Amino acid sequence: MTKIQSLRGMHDLLPDQTSTWQYFEKIIAEILERYSYQEIRFPILEQTELFKRSVGEATDIVEKEMYSFDDRNGDSLSLRPEGTAGCVRACMQNGLLHNQTQRLWYTGPMFRHERPQKGRQRQFHQIGVEAFGLKGSDIDAELILLTSRFWKALKIDHAVTLQINSLGTSEDRLRFKDELVSYLTKHFEQLDEDSQRRLSTNPMRILDSKNPVIQTLLEGAPVLADFIDDESRDHFSKVLAVLEAADVPFEINHKLVRGLDYYSKTVFEWVTTSLGAQGTICGGGRYDGLVEQFGGKPCPGVGFAMGVERLVLLLEALDVVPSSVSHGVDVYIVAGSEHTVPSMVLADRLRDQCPTLRIESHCGGGSFKSQIKKADKSGADIALVLGEQELSDGTVGVKYLRKQHPQESVVQTGLADLLNLFFTD
Ligand code: HAM
């Protein structure tokens, strides 16, 4: 019988990887807490219509990457390809946007049927942040400062660059699109197949093309910045002023348009050259029209999301995960099989008295020799040995597994102090 395998591009996260993920998630969650962002959770499955109306019908995501299917009632549902749409829907449905501001974050799996490669999966994870009800440039700047703080805390700030642009209003973009289309139509023969198709579906995405012929062609194309209204221009320069004052370096990238339709004004991406082709670790921007598009009262929004797999890959590539993060055991308790009760009691008492230590009790019996072997393999620094002699004396054997030091016999009442002292050194 053929073995059942996981789906292509959907990976298991094994125990030796989860410690790095937990380290990463903990740092991010702590910083979000310090900026007073609150967590929100919403479903993985939504009506397909939600993504069509927000991400956009003509985007790659909706056109060809969504996992969509009809459920038993015949309704079209989709696994979420991103979090912003679901977050906005949840906030509207639960009255969180009515005359109030919200600073929210979420985490979880997203699904896109893309061609898998390093840093690109079909099931991947994002941590996303969204702020609602704030139309000023200050919140855009706050979000970027927040991301910048993440990279510093993770010690990857030297390897990432901020690219930023302003998309202006939807009217500005329409005028620009017209000009862009008429310029590119004149050079239709020079466009590759993908760009020819995009010319009628989503012309602004041609700006993203990596094809050098297109890049050269774009040098003579109209520039979005020339079409942007005064208010968006002023908004953008205020965001940049905060970044400059806060010493957050940035590159203005006039070709940065992002792959989702809901953006207006500020858009940004953090990129790295240390991961190969999939170098965007975080992307976001303002989406002031989205709530209205969903039928709500106008409510400005701005946010970003980062790809957890890509960030974990980057942490590993730059070797910045502290060695203490790997799963490890500090103390391993070894006992004769007839001494299960006192050894379990000892282990639990030590967990009360030494709350920072990772203590593993040997289970499954076996000789002392084989148990010590397991203790060694666990990575523990100390094995505690409970045999006949120790039980009758009220002592425990302390065996040092990582340093040259003879085994000691320690009275049980003094054990917690010894361990606490040993592991604070
Ligand atoms: P996005 O740029 O589509 O934006 O995705 C954000 C991040 O998710 C990317 O920068 C990348 O790190 C990661 N990512 C995307 N696709 C994949 C994939 N197939 N495999 C691995 N990682 C991936 C959004 O999703 C917007 N919702 C962000 C946002 C929030 N804008 C405003 N608020």
What is the whole-number distance in angstroms between the Cα of residue 126 and the centre of ligand 1? Answer: 7
Q: What is the pLDDT of residue 325?
A: 85
Residue among 124, 264, 270, 308 whose CB has most ligand 1 atoms within 8 A, to mutate: 124
Q: Which domain holds residue 253?
A: 15-168+228-318
Q: What is the mean pLDDT of residues 198-225?
A: 90
Instruction: Verify that 142 and 261 share a domain, yes or no.
Output: yes
What is the whole-number distance in angstroms between the Cα of residue 282 and the centre of ligand 1? Answer: 7
Q: What is the pLDDT of residue 277?
A: 87
> What DSSP assignment string belongs to 194-226?
HHHHHHHH-GGGGGG---HHHHHHHTTS--GGG
What is the whole-number distance in angstroms between the Cα of residue 353 and the centre of ligand 1? Answer: 44
How confident is the model over 5-50, as pLDDT tens digits? Answer: 999 999 999 998 999 999 999 999 999 999 999 999 999 999 999 9
Q: Is 273 exposed, middle or buried (0-12, 13-18, 19+ CB in 10 A)?
A: exposed
Q: Would 188 be classed as within a structural domain?
A: no
Q: Would 260 be classed as within a structural domain?
A: yes
- Identify the residues whose C-beta falls under 6 Å from ligand 1: 82-84, 112, 114, 119-121, 124, 126, 128, 130, 259-260, 280-285, 303-307, 309-310
Q: What is the pLDDT of residue 210?
A: 85
How confident is the model over 322-336, as pLDDT tens digits? Answer: 987 877 899 999 999
Q: Which residues pair with 378 in a beta bridge?
A: none
**With contact defined as beta carbons under 8 Å apart, do 105 and 128 qualify?**
yes
Instruction: Verify that 371 and 286 share a domain, yes or no.
Output: no
Q: What is the pLDDT of residue 328?
A: 84
Q: Which of 318, 342, 362 is the last residue of a domain?
A: 318
Q: What is the pLDDT of residue 208?
A: 84
Q: Which of 318, 343, 360 is the last residue of a domain?
A: 318
Q: What is the mean pLDDT of residues 355-370?
A: 94
Instruction: Verify that 34 and 112 share a domain, yes or no.
Output: yes
Total domains in the fold of the chain: 2
How confident is the model over 259-273, as pLDDT tens digits? Answer: 899 999 999 999 999
> Which CATH number goes with the domain that contains 342?
3.40.50.800
Q: Which residue has the tokens 């962002």?
A: 37
Instruction: Verify that 233 and 275 share a domain, yes or no.
Output: yes
How confident is the model over 273-325, as pLDDT tens digits? Answer: 999 889 999 999 999 999 999 999 999 999 999 999 999 999 999 999 998 78
Residue nearest to atom 20 of ligand 1 (CA): 120
Q: Would 21 be classed as within a structural domain?
A: yes
| Residue 418 clears pLDDT 80, i.e. is over it | yes
| Residue 417 clears pLDDT 80, i.e. is over it | yes
> Which CATH number goes with the domain that contains 259?
3.30.930.10
Q: What is the pLDDT of residue 283?
A: 98
Q: What is the pLDDT of residue 112?
A: 98
Q: Would 28 be classed as within a structural domain?
A: yes
Residue nearest to atom 18 of ligand 1 (CA): 120
Instruction: Verify that 392 and 277 share a domain, yes or no.
Output: no
The whole model's pTM is what? Answer: 0.93
